[in-house]
């Protein structure tokens, strides 16, 4: 979520907006505004309430109301994610942030082995909150009809809150589909995990998620609906990532960085030329080296850093000119799965291992994969 802007903090949880959110609000506003008459008639039928459309269709009001409904929907999405986060926080799980983006919202939580006793209430909290919001908005429709005498004003309020009621109830139902990465997939996994191993429960839930993704994709292509196709990709990728993530967690459970790191470490000084570093990489078959100066770790240099420099300039330039300063480090006692997460999120291939500010080893992506292969053979 690097392309996100923090807009505040609630209950100690940073709240962020992804750049895609800025695109989807005007898109939703236009879609809602362009179909406002048809939607108003549907809301009137579903709620059994006559709607005066005088103000609703006047001038730019359809698109203004479309914007209000779109923003209201994302308020509902935020409340949905907040419910997940508060339950998780109460269960001792650290919440890094809540981010609103094009397909809704996501709570970024501390990655731990799923516990069905925690996952079940946490997964249910979001959809149930969406249902509660939908029901409250639905009740307000009838309150406005009775309490406000002006039929034109009532029409606007009934449209907005009736629309939000339907959207939040649909959000409730959609999220309970038993398909990863939606809440229903997590509910299914938590229920299955009480009857079988966690890995098998995850595989079944992920496979069901992929089936739903394929169905959404087929319907999307038949109806030429790009939103359904986008949702299909979202579900399929999410299901695959969930199964892969759990596999990594299981294989690397109880393995520390010290179990996988290489030691002693080949290092270079900041004043070494880039051409010499490239020679060392060929000699040692290592694609990166920690950079040491007066016994202290000051950076790390990788083959990718050297490739950014033309072959003509490598002889004149030194390690200090291209190295990554203040590199990410880990303690030997850190879980190895943390190293894998950092490498994946930061797109790096190696992490120096230090203890008491002394370099004691280095762990690479290859080291992590080797440990996984060996443990998979057991």
Cα-flanking dihedrals φ and ψ of residue 352, to 5°?
-65, 145
- Among 243, 235, 241, smallest CA distance to 184 is for 235
Are residues 51 and 146 in contact, defined by beta-carbon separation less than 8 angstroms?
no
* Whole-number Å distance between alpha carbons of 55 and 61: 7
Contact 81, 175 (CB under 8 A): no
Rg of the chain over CA atoms, in angstroms?
A: 27
Residue 221 CA: distances (Å) to CA of 156, 231, 257: 35, 12, 47
H, E, C per residue of 203-217: HHHHHHHHHHHHHHH
Active site (catalytic) residues = 81
The answer to whether 292 touches 267, Cβ cutoff 8 Å, is yes
> Is 79 strand, coil or helix?
helix
């Amino acid at each position: 979520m690097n392309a996100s802007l923090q807009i505040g903090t609630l209950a100690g949880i940073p709240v962020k907006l992804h750049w895609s959110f800025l695109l989807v609000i005007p898109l939703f506003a236009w879609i809602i505004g362009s179909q406002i008459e048809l939607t108003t008639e549907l809301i009137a039928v579903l709620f059994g309430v006559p709607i005066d459309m005088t103000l609703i269709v006047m001038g730019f009001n359809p698109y203004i109301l479309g914007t209000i409904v779109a923003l209201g929907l994302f308020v509902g999405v935020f409340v949905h994610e907040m419910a997940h986060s508060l339950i998780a926080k109460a269960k001792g799980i650290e919440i890094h942030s809540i981010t609103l983006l094009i397909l809704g919202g996501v709570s970024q939580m501390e990655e731990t082995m799923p516990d069905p006793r925690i996952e079940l209430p946490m997964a249910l909290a979001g959809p149930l909150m969406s249902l509660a919001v939908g029901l409250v908005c639905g009740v307000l429709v009838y309150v406005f009809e009775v309490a406000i005498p002006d039929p034109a004003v009532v029409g606007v309020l009934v449209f907005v809150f009736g629309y939000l009621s339907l959207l939040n109830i649909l959000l409730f139902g959609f999220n309970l589909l038993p398909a990863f990465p939606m809440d229903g997939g997590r509910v299914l996994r938590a229920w299955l995990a009480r009857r079988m191993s966690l890995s098998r429960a995850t595989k079944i839930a992920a496979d069901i998620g992929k089936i739903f993704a394929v169905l959404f994709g087929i319907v999307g292509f038949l109806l030429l609906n790009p939103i359904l196709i986008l949702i299909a990709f979202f579900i399929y990728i999410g299901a695959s990532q969930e199964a892969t993530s759990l596999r990594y967690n299981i294989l690397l459970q109880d393995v520390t960085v010290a179990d996988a790191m290489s030691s002693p470490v080949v290092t270079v000084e900041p004043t070494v030329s880039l051409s010499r570093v490239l020679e060392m990489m060929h000699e040692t078959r290592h694609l990166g080296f920690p950079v040491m100066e007066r016994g202290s770790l000051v950076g790390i240099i990788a083959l990718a850093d050297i490739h950014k420099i033309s072959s003509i300039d490598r002889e004149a330039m030194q390690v200090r000119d291209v190295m990554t300063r203040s590199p990410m480090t880990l303690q030997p006692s850190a879980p190895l799965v943390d190293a894998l997460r950092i490498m994946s999120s930061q797109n790096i291939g190696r992490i120096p291992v230090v203890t008491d500010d002394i370099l004691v080893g280095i762990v690479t992506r290859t080291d992590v994969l080797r440990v996984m292969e060996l443990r998979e053979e057991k």
